[in-house]
Structure 1
């Protein structure tokens, strides 16, 4: 029995060592991925387990409390709302918008691009010309116009941003599909009489997924910044619901007296966007072989 236990221990040791060595060799992926995971965990789980008050409904009698006040780790804003609570709930809103926008863009744009690249011909021409028209317009200006016409809300922000993310995902999907279409296994699948939808689902989608996921990681940071800009201008998530953008907008009114109202949401936005950008760039470099 002791011999068996010793053998198991000897087998387990290198496995743990290899796992630890993998993390050490891949710190450029592990560190930003860990930061993204911690931010998501803090925003979505933190308010449920941490003793923080609700993000709205504070008392003006507790306005402008300094950091470290009892029950308010980062202090309070002009309305007496807890800053830490609003940062966590605001991060939840920003991350939800970013995930929804990129999922919609990936699903719609990725599908259109794969169809365009795989089918070619008239289908490719029609799809890509329509998307070229969308790309020709200044997306940020049109996003502002759409958000203003639809009204300020989280749903309208997602729809406005997702609409202009579709062409980018479609172009990446189409380019990757065109490269795949020339490979021998694709020709073999077609010669075997495999239906087109099955070729797309079983051969095209898994092979273009890395490029789309990489772009989605980079897109997360871009969407968070744009959502923050829309909320800053009053066209994104409307107060009193918190988002990092409208927190910065509200905090600038008393920036000289209480800079913490702007510093904390800016820091949260900066760290999150930087982590997504580093993760996306590292994945792009790895999957492209550089």
Structure 2
């Protein structure tokens, strides 16, 4: 009688290997955030505006101007870092506002059920039915180009997406025994939402926010590129690209540096969000 061969036992993956898909993009994103917000204070950089026109169009790696200067003599590295502050501030603000408003509406809708759920979700469906990008452009144009108006316009149209994520997570929670026990004990609805629903839906909302960071940065860059976002001389990656395209053939690095910063930041947040989504979903 043949003896079955023992199957080789696969060694468990080390912890650092399992966490690498999250740690690596998180480290890159953190590095970009630290560079943008701490770099101008730590590095001996010139101000992002008010440069000397006699030092315009200096090439990259010029002493005192690591990435060169723009047509107005402003230090490009300083403008890239300050532009990152603007883009990241918009992205974080939009996601925080969208998460708070949309997450609250979605949790309330899922917890109420019935007619309350129907009314809230139908109102959000009406908002989703409109082409959001076109409406964002219209709102930015009507309110006037500024960082505050950009945040408000983008946050308004991010609410339905957060609400749908929150509602779906809340509906799944309603089937859990601890939710039924809380309701049978007569726990008020607001207390159930704060103590039982909110802590359990935050991971899904945070994951969606990480994915949304990259998208918001791209949209903010597009608005600034079109002149509907942050206005020069205040730097943002979008208006730096718009400014650099005017002399793209002669000085391509004016476009390359802000594009590279935008690409690395968006890619890091997208990979981080996707890794978190896979981790929470058990894939």
TM-score (norm 2): 0.94
Whole-Å separation in 1 of the counterparts to 2:79 and 2:116: 48
Equivalent residue for 2:117?
A: 124
Kindly indicate whether residue 258 of structure 2 is the aligned counterpart of residue 265 of structure 1: yes
After TM superposition, the structure 1 = structure 2 runs for residues 37-48 of structure 1, keeping only pairs within 5 Å, are 37-48=30-41
Whole-Å separation in 1 of the counterparts to 2:101 and 2:114: 20
Kindly indicate whether residue 235 of structure 2 is the aligned counterpart of residue 242 of structure 1: yes
Kindly indicate whether residue 181 of structure 2 is the aligned counterpart of residue 188 of structure 1: yes
Equivalent residue for 2:208?
A: 215
Whole-Å separation in 2 of the counterparts to 1:267 and 1:210: 30
Q: C-alpha offsets along residues 168-221 of structure 1, whole Å, 9 cap, x if unaligned?
A: 000000011011111111000000111111110111011111110010000000
Whole-Å separation in 2 of the counterparts to 1:143 and 1:63: 35
After TM superposition, the structure 1 = structure 2 runs for residues 126-275 of structure 1, keeping only pairs within 5 Å, are 126-275=119-268
Kindly indicate whether residue 32 of structure 2 is the aligned counterpart of residue 50 of structure 1: no
- Unaligned 5+ runs, structure 1: 1-20
Kindly indicate whether residue 83 of structure 2 is the aligned counterpart of residue 90 of structure 1: yes
More displaced, 178-187 or 109-118? 178-187
Matched residue count: 270
Q: Secondary structure at the match of 1:236?
A: coil
Q: 2:106 aligns with which of 100, 113, 121?
A: 113
More displaced, 25-34 or 247-256? 25-34
Q: Shift of residue 255 of structure 1?
A: 0.2
Q: 1:33 aligns with which of 26, 31, 40?
A: 26
Whole-Å separation in 2 of the counterparts to 1:60 and 1:126: 59
Equivalent residue for 1:3?
A: none
Query: Between Structure 1 and Structure 2, which shows a larger proportion of helix residues?
Result: 1
Q: Shift of residue 227 of structure 1?
A: 0.2
Equivalent residue for 1:24?
A: 17
Q: C-alpha offsets along residues 41-72 of structure 1, whole Å, 9 cap, x if unaligned?
A: 00000000100000000011000001111210
Whole-Å separation in 2 of the counterparts to 1:23 and 1:59: 49
Q: Which runs of 4+ in 1 moved over 4 A?
A: none
Q: C-alpha offsets along residues 73-103 of structure 1, whole Å, 9 cap, x if unaligned?
A: 0000000000000000000000000000000
- Unaligned 5+ runs, structure 2: 1-13
